[in-house]
Structure 1
Amino acid sequence: MTSHKAIVSGISGRYAVALFDLAIEEKALDAVESDLSKLKAMMEDSADLRDLVSSPLFSREQQSKGIIGVAQAAKLNAMTEKFLGVLAANRRLGALGATISSFEKLLAHHRGEVRAEVVSARKLTKKQLGDLEKKLKLAVGHDVAIDASVDETLLGGLTVQVGSRMVDDSLKTKLDNLAIAMKGVQ
């Protein structure tokens, strides 16, 4: 297997590798993946959770109690709960979002998938995501796992990044390019 260092780096990468290796060893990869996906969604939806994770105003103990409470309320796997406790004890909860992203990269590599970051002006439907996934699989030649996000400033269209390749088909970019072209006409 390729070294994990080639896929992820930094503090978040080290924590993700530790969790990933432990999840494989304990045969809990699917459970941890589900937990981290749940946590990621919870962080996107809750400003209070984002504050708990990132604010230096909370003490180590407050962060530990808070994140363990969240884990228990969400009925997360015991391994994930302990992992969150370790992050809190080491004052690394601020790296949770990046650690989840690093874990997703490791998981995609483990499964032979390529990750694609898709940013659209509006939330894509399941059918749209499925169609996009099929088209990207044909273009890339591998299974593709999509990380979808929304950026309303795009106005319309979307941007897709797979590895170092990026396709920007957003209305905002088209309008910006038109504005640049129009300046040359004056």
Structure 2
Amino acid sequence: MATDETSVDGVAGRYASALFELAKESSNIEGIESDLVNFQSLLDESPDLVRLVRSPVIAADDQQKAMAAILDRAGIGGLTANFLKLVTANRRLFVIQDMIKVYRSLAAKARGEITAEVTSAFALNDEQVSALKETLKASVGKDVTLQSRVDPSILGGLIVKVGSRMIDSSLKTKLQNMKTALNGAGA
């Protein structure tokens, strides 16, 4: 059964929930969400940063120094920077992308929105994002916040996840389905 509940299980959920509560207390939910989106953009653009975040072989001190420099350069400060530094110090940086996802879902829920994860082969322009939001809003009956991700391996089309529902209209999947059908027809 599909639900709109945001999962706060596990390490990512606990950290994201704690950050969300602190953000709510300081009336800065949107500001922190903006900083986290900014950090996610840095991750999306930099394979080196992804290696820093995920690698267990990088020494804790080196990881902390690098994160401090990155946050300073990106202009991420305050509660968000303190949170990211704490996550780094606790050696939980490898789940930061899940923490960001959960935080954004909590923030969207607080605004009365639901979150949709969208994967596309190419970055969507503003017009496409707007049209997709409107289509999803008509489908689910609520405002929709999009978490976009680019994955060139899907070749074309979109993969959209809303709650437990997934719509995969990617060219890669369609080609795989066609290949399966052709292999089955030749048997």
| TM-score of the two chains, using structure 1 as the length reference | 0.90
1:79-99 residue CA offsets vs partner (Å, 9 max, x unmatched)? 111112211221111121111
Match of 1:164 in 2: 164
14-23 or 148-157, which deviates more: 148-157
Measure the CA separation in 2 of the matches of 1:8 and 1:25: 19
For residue 173 of structure 1, give the secondary structure of its aligned residue in structure 2.
Answer: helix
For the aligned residue pairs, the C-alpha RMSD in angstroms reads 1.7
1:163–1:37 Cα change, 3 Å: same
165-174 or 27-36, which deviates more: 165-174
Measure the CA separation in 1 of the matches of 2:52 and 2:155: 32
Question: Are residue 64 (structure 1) and residue 67 (structure 2) matched?
Answer: no
CA shift for structure 1 position 6: 5.3
CA shift for structure 1 position 35: 0.8
Match of 1:8 in 2: 8
1:40-90 residue CA offsets vs partner (Å, 9 max, x unmatched)? 011111222222222222222222222122112222131111112211221
Matches within 5 A, 1:92-171: 92-171=92-171
Q: Do the aligned residues in 1 keep the contact of 2:6 with 2:102 (CA within 8 Å)?
A: no
Match of 1:31 in 2: 31
For residue 118 of structure 1, give the secondary structure of its aligned residue in structure 2.
Answer: strand
Match of 2:75 in 1: 75
Q: Name stretches of at least 5 consecutive residues in structure 2 with no aligned partner.
A: none
Match of 1:54 in 2: 54
CA shift for structure 1 position 174: 2.2
For residue 133 of structure 1, give the secondary structure of its aligned residue in structure 2.
Answer: helix
1:78-129 residue CA offsets vs partner (Å, 9 max, x unmatched)? 1111112211221111121111111111111111111111122222111001
| TM-score of the two chains, using structure 2 as the length reference | 0.89
Measure the CA separation in 1 of the matches of 2:6 and 2:99: 15
Measure the CA separation in 2 of the matches of 1:168 and 1:6: 22
Measure the CA separation in 1 of the matches of 2:178 and 2:51: 40
Measure the CA separation in 1 of the matches of 2:103 and 2:179: 40
Q: Name stretches of at least 5 consecutive residues in structure 1 with no aligned partner.
A: none
Structure 1 stretches of at least 4 aligned residues deviating more than 3 Å after TM superposition: none
For residue 15 of structure 1, give the secondary structure of its aligned residue in structure 2.
Answer: helix
CA shift for structure 1 position 13: 0.8
Measure the CA separation in 2 of the matches of 1:58 and 1:183: 46
Measure the CA separation in 2 of the matches of 1:6 and 1:149: 19
Q: Do the aligned residues in 2 keep the contact of 1:32 with 1:77 (CA within 8 Å)?
A: no
- Aligned identity (percent) is 42
Matches within 5 A, 1:173-184: 173-184=173-184
